[in-house]
Amino acid sequence: MSRPSAQTVSAQSDAANRVATVPNLISFVRLLGVPLFLYLFLARRADAVAVLILAIGGTTDWVDGFVARRIRQVSRLGELLDPFVDRLYILATLVAFTVREVTPWQFTVVLLGREVLLGGCLLVLRRFGYGPPQVHYVGKTATFILLAAFPVLLLSAVLGSDAPATVAAAVGWGLAWWGVVLYWIAGLLYVWQTAALVRLSGARTERV
């Protein structure tokens, strides 16, 4: 099996370190949607426009990754920025929804608890010299479902108490709790990955 040439390896390294890429631009545009949503929803109370911003920003979380693979512009920044923007959307929406009483505080605590767990894993990994773990497909699925559920829940609050609002609430909460379960499963998988890396690091230290 032939080994990649030094030129190929260098080109791959340069691509991984690039900042100005189309996928990263998409991620930055999505990032701008977070403060815009918060401003519209909390300050202006422009709920209809806030629903639209949240729907576009949330449900397009797959676009930057798809484009990166499609046009071969995968970068380390993109690998970090994509999940960061997704998580920021979730956290910002949780805070805003709790303030406006769209969702109960118990729901927010359940999701924030998972973020605290993941934060602990990141601290442990950093202590042992590892970076953030690779995003698991279960986590990506959970994120997509949650980001799809939030606009539906907000829509149900905007509609009021009529039949369409009831249907929207049922769909929104169905998606939300499904997303929560997968979100926690992904969190437990990250704990397992962290434990495995710590054991590997310990085994290497013993061999030395």
Cβ-proximal residues to 172 (8 Å cutoff; 6+ apart), any chain: 149, 150, 152, 153, 155, 156
Q: At 93, phi and psi to the nearest 5?
A: -65, -40
Question: Could you tell me the domains of the chain?
Answer: 6-207 (1.20.120)
Could you say which residues of the chain have pLDDT below 70?
1-17, 203-208
Contact (Cβ atoms closer than 8 angstroms) between residue 33 and residue 51: no
Tokens standing for residue 65: 């990754």
Pick from 64, 4, 9, 75: which is nearest to 33 by CA? 64
The three-state secondary structure class of 135 is coil
Tokens standing for residue 12: 């791959």
- Mind listing the pLDDT tens digit for each residue in 133-154? 777 889 989 999 999 999 999 9
Q: Within its chain, how far is the Cα of 206 from the centroid?
A: 37
* pTM of the full structure: 0.80
Contact (Cβ atoms closer than 8 angstroms) between residue 138 and residue 189: yes
Query: What letter would DSSP give residue 46?
Result: -
- Mind listing the pLDDT tens digit for each residue in 3-36? 555 444 344 444 456 777 888 888 888 899 999 9
- Say what the pLDDT of residue 66 is: 80
Tokens standing for residue 69: 């693979």
Contact (Cβ atoms closer than 8 angstroms) between residue 171 and residue 114: no
Distance CA 20, CA 188 (A): 34
Cβ contacts of 122-131, under 8 Å, gap ≥ 24: 124/194, 124/198, 125/194, 125/197, 128/197, 128/198, 128/201, 129/201, 130/197, 130/201
Distance CA 51, CA 184 (A): 26
